[in-house]
Amino acid sequence: MTTMRPLIFMDPFPRTQAMVLTPETETELRGMGRLATHFGSRAPDDLVESVLDEVAVIIGQTAMDRGRLERAANLKAIINVKANWEPNIDYGYAQARGVHVLSAAPAMAPAVAEFSIGQAINLARGLPRADAAFRIGAERYGIAGNGRAYSLHDAPVGLIGYGNLGRALTPLLRPFTGQIAVHDPFLSDAYLESEGLEPMALDDLLSTSRFVFVLAGATSDNEGFLSADRLATIPDDAGVILASRAEVVDFDALLFEADTGRLRVAIDVFPEEPVPAGSGWRDSANVLFSAHLAGGMEASYARIRAMMIDDVRQILAGLPPMHLQRAEPRAAAMARSR
């Protein structure tokens, strides 16, 4: 009697084939089972329904409510390669069924951490201003051009959020400073202390940090929690790096603090993306802007592919996944990622 090889269904939109299914990746996955793919849009309902009774692993953002999970008797894992938690999965029932629900977020974190360090140094040393001054012949050399520069070395740093991004950023910060405070309401003080970090209430962290890294994901409970009043407590001339989700901050208030020159601000994420061509946000001359560039690079997608392949192999062998982030049902259900 021939045993049917497991079916791997790939439905990764908005990820493209080039991002998640190189020829080498396809060879690896086909070596583990049968492979069905859909690119260019979310898979239509009739296609999803046609694979439910056989599918062992779903790679992508396919909607899987309780009814679909019940019909997917052979399903072992759902792997979100968009690196977030979408509100289209019954996370609690998946966990009860023993289905691994995983996110590729750990694969994106190293690039975001590296980017965040670079933005912090750019802000502290005033490099965007120095570049602009040089281009119009108004540069000042040496100490004369460094009147407002300061250093990340030995500076008090605050991390808002200690998930994948915070854990990737902290080792990069340690050669610069030992003063790293963290606010994360999902983590215990004892755990943060075991990581060599100082747990701190949000208001205390904001009022004492020279650099503030905003690394928190958006949830149903924290929209806009970095309010105008809270932003106003950050010390004058501090650097603020917004690298996770714009929804957690009063975005216009943050731009105001930058426009007045009171804070140095770097922003990589926006409440609306793409940002409309005529948006007034573009008029904020004192902000170091980038267009959601922190994590989305080929090195990140290579890590996604490598982690995905190894975890699929583990799961199909009846072993636990080792690389990707597991969904915790309560936190995943609260997530408000776009």
Tell whether the model's pLDDT for residue 80 goes beyond 50: yes
Looking at CATH, the fold of the domain delimited by 7-105+298-334 is given as: Rossmann fold (3.40.50)
45 CB contacts (<8 Å, ≥6 apart)?
Answer: none
Query: Average pLDDT over the chain, rounded to whole?
Result: 96
Please spell the DSSP secondary structure of 165-228, one letter per residue: HHHHHHHHHTTT-S-EEEE-TTS-HHHHHHTT-EE--HHHHHHH-SEEEE-PPPBTT-TT-B-H
Alpha carbon 54 to chain centroid, angstroms: 32
- Rg over alpha carbons for the chain, rounded to the nearest Å, is 22
Put the strands of the sheet holding 77-80 in their side by side order: 34-37, 7-11, 55-60, 77-80, 100-103, 325-326
What CA–CA distances, in Å, run from 178 to 61, 132, 172? 39, 33, 11
User: Which one, of 29, 90, 26, 95, lies nearest residue 63 by Cα?
Assistant: 90
- What does the pLDDT look like over 197-240, one tens digit per residue? 999 999 999 999 999 999 998 887 889 999 999 999 999 999 99
- What does the pLDDT look like over 102-148, one tens digit per residue? 999 999 999 999 999 999 999 999 999 999 999 999 999 999 999 99
Please give the CATH architecture assigned to the domain spanning 107-289: 3-Layer(aba) Sandwich (3.40)
Alpha-carbon distance of 90 to 328, in angstroms, equals: 11
User: Which H or E element spans position 316?
Assistant: helix 298-316
Tell whether the model's pLDDT for residue 23 goes beyond 80: yes
42 CB contacts (<8 Å, ≥6 apart)?
Answer: 11, 13, 61, 62, 63
Tell whether the model's pLDDT for residue 2 goes beyond 90: no
Give CATH 3.40.50.720 domain extents, the chain. Answer: 7-105+298-334, 107-289
Spatial contact of 157 and 177, defined as CB atoms under 8 Å apart:
yes
Put the strands of the sheet holding 264-267 in their side by side order: 198-199, 180-183, 157-160, 211-214, 239-242, 264-267, 287-289
